[in-house]
């Protein structure tokens, strides 16, 4: 019996080791230039000498330590900095500069001025003067929104990698994934010594939620988010609106439950993965959320489902 246990333990250790080293999809690194900028994770770029990525790397270095601690992992992953011209070759979705996490160990971030930041910067040009003043305070005289769209959101994507490492590409609901991504984003930003990164997320999304650009959105419910996900993602405005809803809910959850909620939520995603739990209908899923996390949690995340 004892021998059998040791054998099983040994096999489990080997398969764990195998999963760790095999999980990064290296076919996505073809044609990219490897950068030696940190020992914490691998970095590649579509330009030989990329500029202005040190700040992102520093932020991810610190956040990796936070996530490793919160999730009891030592996650291996790679960050790919891709310029707009090469975006479609390496990222799985437009627009160029939209941070994304692949299922297998890779995160894609924009390089140079990303199209998504540029569009947002153009969008706020007509905003009232007090809004400009506020944004300048957090994003500098030139209002550089890559500080949000690349640097701040990279924490969100890194959170997804910790999720995918355990769940693979399977998930019960996309909205649960995105709520989790935002919870990771909030937790990691709040763990930093300075409040600067968190304030950038908070201020920009508060400003956007008061603007007129979201007055006539086509999709607003969670079931639409599930069923029309790719249409919503491609219509960037509507996707931005959903993300902001998730962000403010994640902020409340983190205020109430602190860092422990991150690991509890990831465990929930693993347990309710369709591979493990099968396909759950809305009613069953809501019951499970309420049972696991209680009424306060449920009241914050509940939303018009239909
Ligand atoms: Zn996400």
Instruction: Count Cβ atoms below 10 Å from residue 235 Cβ, excluding itself.
Output: 15
241 within a domain of the structure (yes/no): yes
Q: Which two tokens stand for residue 163?
A: 């999720």
11 within a domain of the structure (yes/no): no
Q: What is the whole-number distance in angstroms between the Cα of residue 13 and the centre of ligand 1?
A: 31
Give residue 214's domain range.
24-301
Report the predicted TM-score, pTM, of the whole model to 2 decimal places: 0.91
Q: What is the whole-number distance in angstroms between the Cα of residue 93 and the centre of ligand 1?
A: 13
105 within a domain of the structure (yes/no): yes
State the residue for tokens 């930093």: 192
d(CA 31, CA 44): 10
Q: Which two tokens stand for residue 6?
A: 């040791």
Q: What is the pLDDT of residue 303?
A: 81
CA distances from 242 to 54, 107, 175, 225 (A): 30, 21, 9, 8
Q: What is the whole-number distance in angstroms between the Cα of residue 14 and the centre of ligand 1?
A: 31
Q: What is the whole-number distance in angstroms between the Cα of residue 10 and the centre of ligand 1?
A: 35
Q: What is the whole-number distance in angstroms between the Cα of residue 158 and the centre of ligand 1?
A: 9
Determine the 3-state secondary structure of 79 from DSSP: strand
d(CA 137, CA 16): 46
Q: What is the whole-number distance in angstroms between the Cα of residue 175 and the centre of ligand 1?
A: 9
Q: What is the whole-number distance in angstroms between the Cα of residue 267 and the centre of ligand 1?
A: 17
Which DSSP helix (H) or strand (E) runs through 107? strand 106-111
6 within a domain of the structure (yes/no): no
Q: What's the CATH number where 113 sits?
A: 1.10.390
Q: What is the pLDDT of residue 110?
A: 94
Q: What is the whole-number distance in angstroms between the Cα of residue 100 and the centre of ligand 1?
A: 7
pLDDT tens digits for 150-173?
A: 999 999 999 999 999 999 988 999
The number of distinct structural domains making up the chain is: 1
pLDDT tens digits for 212-232?
A: 778 888 999 999 999 999 899
Percent of the chain with pLDDT over 90: 76
pLDDT tens digits for 239-262?
A: 999 999 999 999 999 999 999 999
Identify which has the larger pLDDT, 274 or 303: 274
Q: What is the pLDDT of residue 236?
A: 79
Cβ partners under 8 Å of residue 59, min gap 6: 151, 154, 155, 192, 197
pLDDT tens digits for 27-48?
A: 999 999 999 999 999 999 999 9
Strands 106-111 and 100-101: what pairing?
Answer: antiparallel
17 within a domain of the structure (yes/no): no
Whether residue 17 is predicted with pLDDT greater than 70 in this model: the reply is no
13 within a domain of the structure (yes/no): no
Give yes or no for a contact between 41 and 69, defined as CB atoms under 8 angstroms apart: no
14 within a domain of the structure (yes/no): no
Residue 219 backbone phi and psi in degrees, to 5: -115, 135
3 within a domain of the structure (yes/no): no
Q: What is the whole-number distance in angstroms between the Cα of residue 54 and the centre of ligand 1?
A: 23
Supply the mean pLDDT for the chain: 90
d(CA 75, CA 104): 12
Q: Which two tokens stand for residue 78?
A: 């790679």
Q: What is the biggest distance separating any 2 CA atoms in the chain, rounded to whole angstroms? A: 74
d(CA 53, CA 145): 14
């Amino acid at each position: 019996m004892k021998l059998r246990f040791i054998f099983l333990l040994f096999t489990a250790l080997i398969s764990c080791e195998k999963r760790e080293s095999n999980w990064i999809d290296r076919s996505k690194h073809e044609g990219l230039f490897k950068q030696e900028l940190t020992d914490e994770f691998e970095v590649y770029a579509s330009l030989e000498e990329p500029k202005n990525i040190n700040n992102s790397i520093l932020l991810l270095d610190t956040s990796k330590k936070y996530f490793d601690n919160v999730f009891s992992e030592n996650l291996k992953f790679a960050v790919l900095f891709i310029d707009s011209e090469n975006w479609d070759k390496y990222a799985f979705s437009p627009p160029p500069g939209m941070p994304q996490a692949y299922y297998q160990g890779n995160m894609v971030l924009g390089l140079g001025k990303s199209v998504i930041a540029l569009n947002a910067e153009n969008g706020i040009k007509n905003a009232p003067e007090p809004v400009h003043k506020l944004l300048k305070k957090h994003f500098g005289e030139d209002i550089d929104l890559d500080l949000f769209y690349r640097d701040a959101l990279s924490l969100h994507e890194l959170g997804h990698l910790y999720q995918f490492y355990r769940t693979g590409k399977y998930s019960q609901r996309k909205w649960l994934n995105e709520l989790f991504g935002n919870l990771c984003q909030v937790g990691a930003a709040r763990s930093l010594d300075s409040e600067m990164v968190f304030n950038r997320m908070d201020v920009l999304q508060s400003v956007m939620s008061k603007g007129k650009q979201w007055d006539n959105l086509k999709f607003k419910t969670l079931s639409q988010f599930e069923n029309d996900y790719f249409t919503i993602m491609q219509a960037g405005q509507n996707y931005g609106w959903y993300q902001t809803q998730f962000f403010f809910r994640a902020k409340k959850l983190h205020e109430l439950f602190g860092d422990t909620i991150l690991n509890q939520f990831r465990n929930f995603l693993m347990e309710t993965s369709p591979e493990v739990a099968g396909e759950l209908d809305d009613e069953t899923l809501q019951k499970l959320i309420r049972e696991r996390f209680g009424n306060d949690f449920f009241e914050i995340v509940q939303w018009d489902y239909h």
